[in-house]
Structure 1
Amino acid sequence: MRALSDASSKARLWAALGIVVLSLLWGYTWVVAKQALDYAPPFTLTFMRVFGGALALFLALKLLRQPLRLQAPRAVLLISLCQVSGFMLLQTLSLKFGAAGKTAVLVYTMPIWTLLLAWPVLGERVRGGQWLAVVGILTGLLLIIEPWNLQAGWLSNSLGIGAAICWAMGTVLVKKLRRHTRVSLLSLTAWSNLIGSLPVALIASIANEPPVLWTTEFVGIMLVLTLISTAFCWWLWTSILDRVPAWEASLLVLGTPVIAIVCSRAILHEAFSRYEIAGILLIGSGLLLLSFVSWLREQRATAT
């Protein structure tokens, strides 16, 4: 029993350190992706990130000696279109027209859209404190969007929320797939990136965008986005999910946009209006409440 307890404690400590590292890396990624748009147009950049990430993930699978076989191709196709093609395109366009920190906050409202989409798709009803979190996050979004102010960057805001909804739909589809099929999350991510890169490549080919400005700095940025932000971080994320409950891993959702905001202010000198600050605080509080409600449910289930 003591050995099991020590192993569990080490797993949680490892996961906690992993969440800190992921928050830092994925938070800073928003700044790097914003800088990348100075060298490459949005559709081309999206394809390079997704396809490059796919190659890096397949290399990681090979090195880790995990299976490369594509499972449930129809389900993976839908996941790819939502969680990769739609999510990455809308996210990059939102970054193109808006601030990195605010875009990160909008995209990381994903858990609330997952909660709402899981109701009709998976039959998981929204209950109790979850409704309070829904109201808080939606109110925060309203303050960030500022519909009463026509100069508030409505295009970037809409694209950011659209990216969050695409990510949430992909998450729900992954959850639905894993209910009846045992599938490696790392392998699923690799195939999703590869398949999802195809529609992005088609759009980029017909968009008549300006050429990429190839410099040493841009090559370094792309290596960070593909090898570190995609391959390494996704491997770390799947490792964390295998060691701790989902609610605990979801705390990453709180850390990443905070790091993105701090980095965007320090490096890109982005500022926020008082409405945006209030909205960000409400969204953060709602996400924290969602994690707390999930923790309470797990404790009750364990006790039962």
Structure 2
Amino acid sequence: MTESTPGPVEDREIPADAPITLLPVLALLLLGLMWGYNWVVMKAVLVDVSAAWFAALRTVLPALLLIAILPLAGKRFRPPPLFYALPIGLFQTAGFVGFMMWALEAGGGAGETAVIVFTMPLWLTLMAHFALHERITPVQLLAIAVAIPGLVLLISPWETSLALAAVGLALASGIGWALGAIWQKRYYHRYQPDLLNLTAWQMLYGGLLLAGIALWVEPFAFDPTPNFFWALIYNVLLAGALGWLLWVYSLHHLPTWVAGFGVLLVPGIGVLSAWLVLGETPGPVKQVGIGLILSALLIITLYQRRQRHHARRLAAR
């Protein structure tokens, strides 16, 4: 997010056939717009501050703000068990956000990086097969088969202008996100964490790790331009604290499959924003690649909806 973007959380399950009301849908749409446009904001701020330091700032500051909000939101202030939250912070915040920012700094386009990072559900599907013993179904194989050529077309390795480092870092970001989600799913039933509490503390742990890396790499420095302060405010208040509150609200009032559609807005808005604001116009080949990847993510989302609905029907018998 982009804010430590949410993985598959089982915090409070809403039935798949529950009525869908307007206000949570509007919150989800606003969230998709804010997190999607943030790819442009993050790309633009790198002329004023290094990727390492901005990654640290955009995780530590909103984490502290969320922790301060916890009592006001009626949530438990005490952090979740370190064994559970620390690896999530390592992978889903430090890995996801750090590699993402470095990919943008290494020359990755905002829109293309967003799409590559959001291949995360595909890596999650493969990892869950081995780590969680969740069998890969034919529908999931279809999604992977659609996404792989799309990824090749988007990366276009035959182009001499290919930024291999940016591509590798973007893939590492998505894989880190998936690893955090695997850990979260594997131990969720043992700890039963509150989503907002877990989000705040794991983000702080990951952000402190990013701050340590930034200190080790270079002294803290930034160019105090309006662009820098706008990006910081956007990431701390809008995409950060407000974004997570909107996500928790949406997840608690909408079926998970609907929330999944909202997350799919992020790479699409990222591509559109990069085109309109930064002038990043992907060629026809890359456009086909983006379309295939987004189609694969849509297949995964629709499949998850069907599986959840089927599981609830069986449980009701």
TM-score with structure 1 setting the length: 0.92
- Of 65, 86, 94, the residue aligned with 2:95 is 86
1:14 aligns with 2:23: yes
- Counterpart in 2 of 1:125? 135
Alignment of 1:181-192 (within 5 A): 181-192=191-202
The percentage of counterpart residues that share the same residue type is: 32
Tell me if the contact between 1:105 and 1:257 (Cα under 8 Å) persists in the aligned partners.
Answer: yes
1:200 aligns with 2:210: yes
Query: Once the 2 structures are TM-superposed, how far is the Cα of residue 209 of structure 1 from its aligned partner?
Result: 5.5
1:38-80 deviation digits (Å, cap 9, x = unpaired): 1101111111111111112112213213111112211211111
Distance 1:57 1:298 in 2: 30
Alignment of 1:64-213 (within 5 A): 64-96=73-105, 97-208=107-218, 211-213=221-223
1:96-128 deviation digits (Å, cap 9, x = unpaired): 121111111111111111111111221111102
Where structure 2 has 5 or more consecutive residues not aligned to the other structure, the ranges are: 1-17
- Counterpart in 2 of 1:32? 41
Where structure 1 has 5 or more consecutive residues not aligned to the other structure, the ranges are: 1-7
Query: Once the 2 structures are TM-superposed, how far is the Cα of residue 179 of structure 1 from its aligned partner?
Result: 2.1
- Counterpart in 1 of 2:67? 58
Aligned residues: 297
Report the RMSD for the aligned CA atoms in angstroms.
1.7
- Counterpart in 2 of 1:237? 247
Instruction: Give the number of the structure whose residues are more often helix, by fraction.
Output: 1
Amino acid at match of 2:42: A
1:155-201 deviation digits (Å, cap 9, x = unpaired): 11111111001011111211222222211111111111111122212
Greater shift, 201-210 or 68-77, is seen at 201-210
- Of 251, 269, 286, the residue aligned with 1:259 is 269
Amino acid at match of 1:102: E
Tell me if the contact between 2:89 and 2:203 (Cα under 8 Å) persists in the aligned partners.
Answer: yes
Amino acid at match of 2:69: A
Distance 1:47 1:20 in 2: 27
The secondary structure found in structure 1 opposite 2:253 is coil
Distance 1:213 1:99 in 2: 22
Amino acid at match of 2:224: W
Tell me if the contact between 2:53 and 2:220 (Cα under 8 Å) persists in the aligned partners.
Answer: no
Tell me if the contact between 1:50 and 1:197 (Cα under 8 Å) persists in the aligned partners.
Answer: yes
Tell me if the contact between 1:60 and 1:231 (Cα under 8 Å) persists in the aligned partners.
Answer: no
Amino acid at match of 1:244: L
Tell me if the contact between 1:108 and 1:253 (Cα under 8 Å) persists in the aligned partners.
Answer: no
- Counterpart in 1 of 2:300? 290
Query: Once the 2 structures are TM-superposed, how far is the Cα of residue 251 of structure 1 from its aligned partner?
Result: 0.7
Distance 2:139 2:304 in 1: 10
Distance 2:109 2:270 in 1: 10
Tell me if the contact between 1:90 and 1:162 (Cα under 8 Å) persists in the aligned partners.
Answer: yes
